[in-house]
Amino acid sequence: MARKTMDDELDTSKEDETISKESKTVSKNEKNQQEKAEEINEKIEEIREVIVEKKTGFNYLEVILIMIITLIIGGFFGGTVVKLTNKQTAVSKDGAENSQYQEFIDTYNDIKKNYYEKIDEDALLDAGIKGMLEFLGDKYSVYMDQEETDEFNEQVEGKYEGVGVEIVQDENEHVSIYRVFENSPAERAKLKAGDIIQKIGAEDVTKKTTAEISEMIKKSTEKKVNITILRDGELKEFTLERESIDIESVAIKTFDVNKKKIGYIAISVFASNTEEQFSKKLKELEKEKIDGLIIDVRGNSGGYLNKVTDIASMFLEKGKVIYQLDTKGIVEQIRDESKEKRDYPIAVLINKGSASASEILAASLHESYGAYLVGSASYGKGTVQRAYTLESGATVKYTIQKWLTPEGTWINEKGLTPTHPIDLDMKYILDPKDENDNQLQKALEEVSK
């Protein structure tokens, strides 16, 4: 199993290394065996979201009004239509001014005009938005500044701005290229795995970390980046043009077990490009005439709701319930509307790091398809978020719904219970290869019967 995350791309197939694409940090020989066990068995990623939608271009006052509406309307779901006049006044559907909203705006304007010291107006609005989000008491409802927004968008969009390499730092603190992405600027320039990075532009980077080198490449104001590497004792300089790089979130392989061919497909995150990658990889496996399938979402912390919906729909019969959404007590069943389906046995690998969208997929395939759930209990995240990006580049994200399993169970703070519970063996943690992955082996055993 090679688990990757959008934050630090942990590659457990290499015992002592944490591999990173340009923006990742690598540590080596820093963790003892217990820490490694916790890292693999209990690692919880920061996304941990089911994002129902993202909207952009809202100004501060529009988002403040959206948040006030969320807090005040509550039980009057669907009962009020709110719009903004050119004076930023909240108006109800009958045209009457809503004093609750206007009070907020009047207070903001009064402070801005009369406070005895100079005020940063943007910071004041930020504080107002943050205050409303904190009032909700929901750890998934947050305000993210522009830098946090950029990191979040990279995770859920499955893209980043760079040259297309993964880099690693060894025990001698040399930063070298671990992998070159296909169809990337790095591949076209003929950079190779093993090249040791010496300079970025004119600056010596031999004493810098992978994270620092990554930032230099990604945050460069220049479209082109000069990279000097050491290869076979010789310095070579390459000029690469930065571009948007697709992050691979799906990986496949096959196993021959009990005279059957079993496909394996790992999903690291449900990004905007994951469904397309998954469909392509699944068809590749099926061309090999697989008799069963293992879907590995261990360590997968979530992503877009529509992407997990599309993936589940590839397997279920038309009309089957994928999941349910509870919006202020109004429950809607989301059913498979596609003609596509499968009928071979499936096992889904889960662990404590499987959250949100991963849990939706696992629950859907278990309850509406009959898939096995193998591993340890999942994280237990049963809510759905909406994200609004402000004109400033910051983002407001808050919870709008609960999601329920096809049978109507809310797994929040409980998680999914495996049909075949099994903790990851320490043998795998010390020597990470497939034959030592007892969770994978159990899944292979079940789908090959």
CB 280 within 8 A of CB 287: no
439 flagged as catalytic: no
CB 35 within 8 A of CB 27: no
Strand partners, 373: 348
Q: Is 50 exposed, middle or buried (0-12, 13-18, 19+ CB in 10 A)?
A: buried
Strand partners, 168: 176
Which of 320, 381, 397, 402 is flagged as catalytic? 381
Question: Which strand (E) or helix (H) includes residue 265?
Answer: strand 260-267
Which of 272, 354, 356, 358 is flagged as catalytic? 356
448 flagged as catalytic: no
Q: What is the rounded CA–CA span in Å between residue 339 and residue 318?
A: 6
Q: What is the rounded CA–CA span in Å between residue 77 and residue 67?
A: 14
Which of 155, 358, 376, 385 is flagged as catalytic? 385
441 flagged as catalytic: no
Q: What is the rounded CA–CA span in Å between residue 244 and residue 254?
A: 31
CB 350 within 8 A of CB 325: no
> Of 140, 50, 138, 123, whose CA–CA distance to 394 is shortest?
123
Q: How many other C-beta atoms lie within 10 A of the C-beta of residue 422? A: 15
Helix (H, G, I), strand (E, B) or coil at 235: strand
Return all residues near 134 (Cβ < 8 A) that are at least 6 apart.
Answer: none
> Of 246, 327, 243, whose CA–CA distance to 74 is shortest?
327
Looking at 248-297, list the stretches that DSSP marks H as alpha helix, in order from N- to C-terminal side. Answer: 274-287
> What is the residue whose two structure tokens read 């910051």?
394
Size (the chain), residues: 449
Write out the catalytic residue numbers: 356, 381, 385
